[in-house]
Amino acid sequence: MVVNAEKMWEPAVRAVDLGQTLQALAHGERLKIVRFLLNREATAGEIADALAIGAGQARRQLRALTAAGLVDSYPSAEGERFKLDQQAVALVSASVVRLLTPPPGGARRPVLAGSDGADVFTIRVPDAPDACLSCQNSPFVAKVLDDLDTVLREARAYHSRLLQLSSQVLTAHEAERKRIARELHDDTAQSLTSILVRLRLLERSLKSSESRRKVEELHDLTGTALDSVRRMAVDLRPTALDDLGLEAALRSYIENFCSSWPVQVRFSTTNIRRRLPPDVELVLYRVAQEALSNIAKHSSASSAEVSLGRRNNIVTLTIRDDGRGFDPANLTPSSGGGLGLFGMRERMSLVGGSLEIDSAPDSGARITGRVSLRGRAGAAR
């Protein structure tokens, strides 16, 4: 973001101390002292008592304000007294107004523009008095705004690094889920299967009916544990997603979901003729998984609908339900709610997608995720 200040007008005079003055004001306690001295004079002790700060701290801030030219001091019977330099304060105020006010001749107001030259927003202020327009110190205010622009660029770069870190964390998370799912399937499930076979052989070799009954109970418990392990492995990383694609994985997950929860789910697809990029398939699968899990646990819905479609390189996933709904504005991670929705949004943003949530109390809910495939490698596999 850059400030188009020099294109608006060229000042005739350039002061040399306004930048230092504005830097001195960029401090909470100094601003409090300036406000306290607006209509009065006081000693450092009086200022410290009024603002509930230490006397030494008040003296340090007063020295900084004095060095910046905002505060004057003079000796008195009570000690050194301080007062505002009203001319310096007026200079700061006039310079800000000067920058934010168009010059004579109908030139445009100051605009903050993006790096591509497109307007981001226009600053609108009331017309300034003629006395304010005569101040020639606007370049220093422009310098402060340029410093703000630097801070904003750094914040955007920091946000970009956070997104990259989130992507790496989710990638590592999915890799770990895949590893655990493989170990459950290849090791734990195979061991339980071997136990089942040996229990069946043992049951046949026993002559006592009581012993056979106990072995049969162990056989049933082991079978239940094996089913749980397989279900856990599928939830962690469905093999159908890697082998057959998103449509097959969703269809399989919804079948298992309907057999486990009293919710009837209808699944439909439109124009999904090819495999999607792996990261898009994984994100959309996780979004559908989280949405259906929320429906089962919180919505009290009796039916739901999952639709997957593609049009003009835009893939859309929609999950609807007829449950009790909710107010999205009241569900925030900071309040302890909406973590699932927040996670879905984060996943969608990592693949350049978006998530829309449409719900209201007693009106069901609709969650829509959209991802553009334009320019993606492997968009038509």
Q: For residue 110, what pLDDT is reported?
A: 42
Assess whether 103 and 54 both reside in one domain: yes
Distance CA 140, CA 276 (A): 53
Residue 143 forms part of a structural domain: no
**Is the model more confident about 140 or about 276?**
276
Taking phi over 0 as left and psi of -120 to 50 as alpha, with beta for the rest, 375 belongs to left
Over residues 175-179, the mean pLDDT reads 79
Residues 276 and 260 in one domain: yes
Q: Provide the β-strand partners of residue 74.
A: 81
Please report whether residue 377 resides in a domain.
Answer: no
pLDDT at 64: 85
Boundary of a domain, candidates 219, 237, 255:
237
Residues 252 and 358 in one domain: yes
Q: Is residue 141 part of a domain?
A: no
250 and 322 share one domain: yes
**158 and 40 assigned to the same domain:** no
Lowest mean pLDDT among 140-144, 188-192, 312-316: 140-144
Q: Residue 62: count other Cβ atoms within 10 Å of its Cβ.
A: 23
The phi and psi torsions of 104 (rounded to 5 degrees) equal: -60, 145
Q: Among 98-107, 197-206, 234-243, 299-308, whose mean pLDDT is lowest?
A: 98-107
Q: According to the model, what pLDDT value does residue 85 have? A: 80
Are 7 and 130 contained in the same domain? Answer: yes
Instruction: Flag whether 144 is in a domain.
Output: no
Residues 275 and 160 in one domain: no
CATH number, domain containing residue 116: 1.10.10.10
Contact indicator for 280, 373 with CB cutoff of 8 Å: yes
pLDDT tens profile 182-216: 888 778 888 888 888 888 888 888 888 888 888 88
CA 253 to chain centre: 29
Residues 253 and 233 grouped into a single domain? no
- The mean-pLDDT minimum among 51-60, 122-131, 140-149, 191-200 falls in 122-131
Same domain, 212 and 266: no
Residue 25 maps to a domain: yes
| Residue at 250: amino acid letter | L
Kindly report, residue by residue over 19-39, the tens digit of the pLDDT.
Answer: 666 667 767 788 888 888 887
Q: Is the pLDDT of residue 147 over 80?
A: no
Is pLDDT of 345 > 70?
yes
Who contacts 251 (Cβ-Cβ below 8 Å, separation ≥6)?
267
Quote the number of domains for the chain: 3
Residue 381 lies in a domain: no
Cα end-to-end distance, the chain, whole Å:
40
Domain final position from 202, 237, 272: 237
Enclosing domain of residue 108: 2-136
Q: What is the CATH number of the domain that holds 275?
A: 3.30.565.10
pLDDT greater than 70 at residue 52: yes
Task: List all residues 6 or more positions away from 297 whose beta carbon is below 8 Å from its beta carbon.
Answer: none
CA distances from 38 to 26, 42, 75, 102, 219 (A): 17, 11, 19, 29, 86
Specify whether 6 is located in the same domain as 129: yes
CA–CA gap between residue 360 and residue 325 (Å, rounded): 5
Asked whether residue 200 is assigned to any structural domain, the reply reads yes
* 375/321 Cα distance (integer angstroms): 33
pLDDT beyond 80 at 307: yes
Strands 81-84 and 264-270: unpaired
Q: Are 365 and 300 in contact (CB under 8 A)?
A: no
Entry pTM: 0.53
Identify the three-state secondary structure at position 266.
strand
Residues 6 and 128 in one domain: yes
The whole-number pLDDT of residue 377 equals 55
Residue 75 CB neighbour total at 10 angstroms: 8
CA atoms in the 13 A half-sphere facing the CB of 126: 4
Distances in Å between the alpha carbon of 296 and those of 299, 327, 355, 359?
Answer: 6, 18, 20, 16
In tens, the pLDDT along 273-299 reads: 888 888 889 899 989 989 998 898 888
142 domain-assigned: no
Identify the domain boundary among 91, 107, 136. 136
Which tens digit of pLDDT belongs to each residue from 218-238? 888 888 888 888 878 877 777
Asked if residue 259 and residue 197 are part of one domain, the reply reads: no
pLDDT of residue 136: 57
121 vs 335: which has the higher pLDDT: 335
Tokens of 332: 């925030």
